Amino acid sequence: MINESSVFWSRMLTELTLSFHIIYATIGVGIPLMIMIAQYVGYKKKDEHYILLARRWARGFVITVAVGVVTGTAIGLQLSLLWPNFMELAGQVIALPLFMETFAFFFEAIFLGIYLYTWDRFKNHKRHMLLLVPVAIGASMSAVFITIVNAFMNAPQGFDVINGELVNIQPILAMFNPAMPTKVAHVLVTAYMTSAFVLASIAAFNLLKGSNHIYHKKALFMLMKLGLIFAIAAAVIGDFSGKYLAEYQPEKLAAAEWHFETEDGASLILFGVLDDEEVKYAIEIPYALGILAHNNPAAEVIGLDQYAVENVPPLYIHYLFDIMVMIGMFMFALAGIFVLGKWRNWKFISSKWFKWGIVAGGPLSIIAIEAGWWLAEVGRQPWILYGYMRTEEGTTASSHVDVMLLLFAGVYIILAIGSIVVLIRMFKRNPIEREIEDRHLQDGEHV
Amino acid sequence: MSLELLGISVLWIFLFGYVIVASIDFGAGFFNAYSLLTGKQHILSKVIKRYLSPVWEITNVFLVFFFVGIVGFFPQTAFYYGTVLLVPMSISLILIAIRGSYYAFEAYGTKKGHKGYALAYGLTGLFIPASLSIVFSISEGGFVNIIESQPILDYGALFTSPLAWSIVMLSIVAVLYISAVFLTWYAKKANDEKASNLMRKYALIWAFPLIISSLGIIIELKSYPNEHFAAMTNLWWMFAISGVLFLATVWLIWARTGYGLAVMLLVLQFAIAFFVYGISHYPYLLYPYLTVYDSFTNKAMAISLVVAFIAGLCLLLPSLYLVLKLFLFNKDYVRGNQDYHV
């Protein structure tokens, strides 16, 4: 018995929770690494500005972590509450990484607590910095394990189905499924990239709003360098993701590319509108789809004509793909020009309009993360477990999901407003100039 | 030991861990909020915050560990409990979301504290155990009907059930009692006589309702149409030990001798009661539909989960020891002699 309205509302609620959680989760994965790098550079260069960067980021980070933790708890339980049939089935094969994720998260939580409350407590400051290693590892491993579960939903393996029963279950094989390498790498690298650009956006904003302190300039330069490295990595891994899709989920790639007919030498379509399977006003890059899919411009790329209509994902994911890729390229160019300009002393990178570009980069990166996840999730439709279980078969039979959606939407609004207000207040009340002054006064007393 | 028994034992131990640390946590938040309302925050706030700050996130992980673990070891629970708990668990999640975030907003986001935030997390904290405790009531059976092969929760029966209400009562009272006893000791350790005396008063106030509500549940279970009560009576001597430990705890608090021992006996008292409840509930996860045997996962997954669990413990235990050493058992930190906050 499938309850159509439950399916719809369950999808809405899952989408809402994930879309909200992913903002805090992405930052939560990337920022510990940024804090660690800043603190390391600070000790290396004996430059208190970098150490203050680490300190101030850590202070803001706690707020975002809190929201990340509670929304992560929500999605963790919602998997069972909204998709009980799916969890009953998939739990038999993929419970291991979910379980391991709680340990990674545990590990991170413990050391984050210690790190936050032991500034200057150790005589050797570097030992304090070392506490960040388990925080950063725990954060990244959480992302790795959860992404493995998502990869399994796209490319399930490690079991056989005989008479409707799952047999020969191999949990490790299920974890190392074909979707896992590209997905995990892509999620990690884009989390680092997004975190760098979000922090860079804040630094640029501060510079625009009149605080010409060298502290913000150092932050900006360091973050743009890091962002550039991760943007390049993201592009390379994105290319591998294309090849994975062409091999294992060709209809997902074909739907994202509006590639209807199987053909050799296919071109890549950007933007455009769809008029009954006819693509209009699009930019076509000849042979690019063959390169993306198989590293060969002349290769045959499977089109949607090979699939039954009921197995094809919604075609609007094409726009999600475009948004993700365009923002990624924009950020790559922005960071590349900035770093190159610093090296070659180009004046315009210090101009106001360029800084506004960097400011825009923060929110844009978040939009790219959202678009990427929607692409990944909507692109897997109609399956919740690719090839084995359709989304509607996994849904709860309970009929109160619509009311829950309203409740959760209310809570997320409260949390979003709350976290933003708290963060703005926290840094407005204690701008960098004042903090440096206060710290010097304190040190003066000791001397 | 069968894998089924091993799995449920591990999960039950972690759930017990959650019951204790979360009770301290939620109770502390509530007492903090209460002291704000009654103008006593100058006595309590400082010491409560010093305890809560580094540990709140860890508390939450115990809960996540339990529900991820139970779906891992017993995937059918996802089907039965997942379907029927949509509404009650969503309410718990919403409360947890408010509690966790507003705690962080207040503790880390403001220098001097924020009354509104403190009230928000203090009050929501008290309702979390109440909403979570509904799962215990549902597990007793009688509230879930199978209609067209789907489990459906009977809200009317649940809301009018004296058993459900007495379990809710116990969950709230236990939170207040456990955290009051703990904070009596913690404040004493911090050399904060005033706070310690106030918490001692609260501990003594909540001791009596605790016993009343526990007895209430036992009486309700006696007339309940499942085998649970019969199984419990076989373990009456364990209840007796738990009762003696309770009296000893109260006496230690009353006589102001050995608050540290009182906390230890309190944990032991609850551990025994919690395990008697669990053992007598065994093997049912949900009367009468689900037992640990028929809901158990496959052998390969069970073994890999156990291996992951042991590996995880090797990582966690030393880390938890470090937290205890740095914060709970470090005199300078507890007394607030140092400020090493980021």
Angle at the Cα of A381 from the Cα atoms of A379 and A384, rounded to 5 degrees: 120
Closest Cα in chain A to B295 = A88
Let me know if residue B288 belongs to a domain.
yes
**What is the length of chain A?**
447
Nearest neighbour of B57 by CB, restricted to A69, A78, A414? A69
CB under 8 Å to B227, separation ≥6 — which residues? B287
Let me know: does B106 contact B114? Beta carbons within 8 Å: yes
Contact list in A for residue B331 (CB cut-off 8 A) is none
Instruction: Give the three-state DSSP class for A275.
Output: strand
Let me know: does B214 contact B169? Beta carbons within 8 Å: no
A74: nearest Cα among A437, A409, A443: A409
Interchain proximity B71–A101, CB inside 8 Å: no
Taking the Cβ of residue B219 and every Cβ of chain A, the question of whether any pair is shorter than 8 Å is answered with no
**pLDDT tens across A359-415, in order?**
999 999 999 999 999 999 999 989 999 989 999 888 888 888 989 999 999 999 999
Angle at the Cα of A427 from the Cα atoms of A201 and A353, rounded to 5 degrees: 25
Q: Is the peptide bond before B283 cis (omega within 30 degrees of 0)?
A: yes
Let me know: does B64 contact B93? Beta carbons within 8 Å: no
Let me know if residue B340 belongs to a domain.
no
Nearest CA to CA, how far is A288 from chain B (Å)? Answer: 43
Rounded to a whole number of angstroms, the CA Rg of chain A reads 24
Taking the Cβ of residue A1 and every Cβ of chain B, the question of whether any pair is shorter than 8 Å is answered with yes
Interchain proximity B105–A98, CB inside 8 Å: no
* Phi and psi at residue A281, to the nearest 5°: 55, 30
A371: nearest Cα among A190, A224, A246: A190
Taking the Cβ of residue A422 and every Cβ of chain B, the question of whether any pair is shorter than 8 Å is answered with yes
DSSP state letters, B311-336: HHHHHHHHHHHHHIIIIIS-HHHHTT
Taking the Cβ of residue B112 and every Cβ of chain A, the question of whether any pair is shorter than 8 Å is answered with no
CB under 8 Å to B221, separation ≥6 — which residues? B140, B163, B228, B229, B232
Nearest neighbour of B101 by CB, restricted to A55, A107, A418? A418
Gap between the Cα atoms of A269 and A179, Å rounded:
24
Let me know if residue B52 belongs to a domain.
yes
Interchain proximity A95–B148, CB inside 8 Å: no
pLDDT of residue A445: 47
Gap between the Cα atoms of A201 and A199, Å rounded:
5
pLDDT of residue A2: 63
Gap between the Cα atoms of B136 and B12, Å rounded:
13
pLDDT of residue A443: 63
Mean pLDDT of chain A: 89
Show me where the domains of chain A are located.
Answer: 1-179+387-447, 212-248+250-379
Q: Tell me the mean pLDDT per 10 residues along chain A, length 447.
A: 79 94 94 93 88 90 90 92 91 92 88 83 80 92 94 92 87 93 95 96 89 86 94 92 88 87 83 80 82 84 86 91 93 93 86 91 95 94 91 87 92 93 87 80 55
Pairing of strands A278-280, B290-291: unpaired
How many C-beta atoms surround the C-beta of residue B198 within 10 A? 20
Query: Which residues are B50's β-sheet partners?
Result: none
Gap between the Cα atoms of A193 and A31, Å rounded:
10
User: Cα dihedral angle (A15, A20, A23, A28), rounded to 10 degrees?
Assistant: -110
pLDDT of residue A419: 92
User: Residues 67..96 of B with a Cβ closer than 8 Å to A: which?
Assistant: 67-69, 71-73, 75-87, 89-91, 93-94, 96
Report how far Cα A8 is from the mean position of its chain's Cα atoms: 25
Gap between the Cα atoms of B342 and B233, Å rounded:
53
Let me know if residue B180 belongs to a domain.
yes
Gap between the Cα atoms of B55 and B21, Å rounded:
9
- Per-residue burial over A194-223, b = 16 or more CB atoms within 10 Å of its CB, e = otherwise: bbbbbbbbbbbbbbeeeeebebbbbbbebb
B117: nearest Cα among B51, B43, B36: B36
Residue where the block lists tokens 């439709």? A381
Let me know if residue B342 belongs to a domain.
no
Residue where the block lists tokens 């230890």? B264
Contact list in A for residue B98 (CB cut-off 8 A) is 411, 414
Query: Which residues are B146's β-sheet partners?
Result: B151
Q: How many domains is chain B partitioned into structurally?
A: 1
Taking the Cβ of residue A120 and every Cβ of chain B, the question of whether any pair is shorter than 8 Å is answered with yes
B256's torsion region: left (phi>0), alpha (psi -120 to 50) or beta? Answer: left
Gap between the Cα atoms of B222 and B238, Å rounded:
17
Contact list in A for residue B55 (CB cut-off 8 A) is 113
pTM to 2 decimals?
Answer: 0.90
CB under 8 Å to A104, separation ≥6 — which residues? A137, A138, A139, A141, A142, A144, A145
pLDDT of residue B338: 61
pLDDT of residue A1: 52
Q: Tell me the mean pLDDT per 10 residues along chain B, length 342.
A: 88 91 90 87 80 75 89 90 90 91 83 81 90 90 85 88 91 94 88 87 91 88 83 87 91 89 91 90 86 88 90 87 80 69 66
Let me know: does B21 contact B55? Beta carbons within 8 Å: yes
Gap between the Cα atoms of B85 and B131, Å rounded:
11
pLDDT of residue B109: 77
User: Residues 152..181 of B with a Cβ closer than 8 Å to A: which?
Assistant: 152-153
User: Which structural domain range is residue B185 located in?
Assistant: 3-334
DSSP state letters, A88-151: HHHHHHHHHHHHHHHHHHHHHHHHHHHHHT-TTTSSSHHHHHHTHHHHHHHHHHHHHHHHHHHH
DSSP state letters, A282-323: -EEETTHHHHHHHS-TT-EE--GGGS-GGGSPPTTHHHHHHH
Taking the Cβ of residue A397 and every Cβ of chain B, the question of whether any pair is shorter than 8 Å is answered with yes
Nearest neighbour of A76 by CB, restricted to B67, B73, B150? B67
Taking the Cβ of residue B113 and every Cβ of chain A, the question of whether any pair is shorter than 8 Å is answered with no
pLDDT of residue A335: 93
DSSP state letters, B290-317: EETTTT---HHHHHHHHHHHHHHHHHHH
